[in-house]
Amino acid sequence: RVRRKIQLVDFLLSFRWIIVIFFVLPFSFLYYFSIYLGDMQSERKSYKQRQMEHDENVKEVVKRLGQRDATKDGLVCTARPPWVVVGMRNVDYKRARHFEVDLSKFRNILEIDTERMIARCEPLVNMAQISRVTIPMNLSLAVLAELDDLTVGGLINGFGVEGSSHIFGLFSDTVVALEVVLADGKVVRATKDNEYSDLFYAIPWSQGTLGLLLSAEIKLIPVDQYVKLTYKPVRGNLKELAQAYADSFAPKRW
């Protein structure tokens, strides 16, 4: 048998733990810690202040879009670097000529409306941030994605799904209004039944191609402190398995 020659890549593979432990781990820690500090800073601001900042930041985005020369500048996209994105999407378009709009300030929870049972969030609000605020109020997003660093914007423009989705649908199905800035700088609020309803239904899974999301109003549900999970093994033929699966979808509380 011919022995394969040991190549550099084999060497790197067997010593990858050095890179993981001494570089990737410390870097990840610092990265997540900086996000956490930013979240804390956001939580210290009053809702009123966050809403004021939101209005200011929206104005800045509109101004930035106004600077775009459609004949020279490339397509509009966010300035978010591709390496922070959680997903399998190919982000090569960010290597091509493009016109960046910085949305990094859009990371505040703007309102928790306990009467309408709505959380109004900016797109970079992450799941850890929202559960830290709503869980002590005995509330939760109807579909709360389990990975802490997933963002509202990603879960809407991409797609989000979690265990409770078999009752409430995808993350985007729990959204009741979207505030979007269109390519021409117009800011609109799209809902199921207003004049921008086409946009409301088209934004989920659009990967940010139709406009930049500025905030979203998302359904909240009351939650208890603990979740009781029942695992129910099912045995039988395909038909019985399928029936048991279908039965598990029957909403019990809502």
Ligand X SMILES: *[C@@H]1O[C@H](CO)[C@@H](O)[C@H](O)[C@H]1NC(C)=O
Residue 109: its H or E element: strand 109-113
Please give the full DSSP string across 243-254, using - where no structure is assigned: HHHHHTTS-S--
Contacts for 198 with CB less than 8 Å, ≥ 6 apart: none
* Residues in a beta bridge with 77: 100
Min separation Cβ 109 and ligand X, Å = 17
234 in helix, strand or coil?
coil
State how far the Cα of 147 lies from the Cα of 43, in Å rounded to an integer: 20
Nearer to ligand X, 144 or 177 (CB): 144
**Type of residue found at 237:** N
Min separation Cβ 223 and ligand X, Å = 9
Q: In the window 78-137, what residues touch ligand X (CB under 6 A)? A: 137
Beta carbons of 101 and 61 less than 8 angstroms apart: yes
* Residues in a beta bridge with 181: 187, 212
Min separation Cβ 140 and ligand X, Å = 12
Nearest one of 100, 109, 65, 63 to 81, comparing CA atoms? 100
Nearer to ligand X, 60 or 113 (CB): 113
Nearer to ligand X, 52 or 137 (CB): 137
**Closest-CB residue for ligand X?**
138
Min separation Cβ 254 and ligand X, Å = 18
Min separation Cβ 137 and ligand X, Å = 5
Nearer to ligand X, 231 or 254 (CB): 254
Nearer to ligand X, 169 or 222 (CB): 222
State how far the Cα of 19 lies from the Cα of 245, in Å rounded to an integer: 44
Site size toward ligand X, by CB under 6 A: 3
Min separation Cβ 222 and ligand X, Å = 9
What mask of x and - would describe binding to ligand X in positions 176 to 215, judged by CB under 6 A?
A: ----------------------------------------
225 binds ligand X (CB under 6 A): yes
Nearest one of 47, 61, 77 to 187, comparing CA atoms? 61
Among positions 14, 41, 138, 194, the unique one binding ligand X when judged by CB under 6 A: 138
Nearer to ligand X, 226 or 231 (CB): 226
Question: How many C-beta atoms lie closer than 10 Å to residue 202's C-beta?
Answer: 14
Nearest one of 175, 183, 178 to 214, comparing CA atoms? 178
Min separation Cβ 138 and ligand X, Å = 4
Q: Which two tokens stand for residue 126?
A: 């992450």
Nearer to ligand X, 85 or 133 (CB): 133
The one-character DSSP state at 84 is: G
Which residues of the shown chain bind ligand X in the complex (CB under 6 A)? 137-138, 225
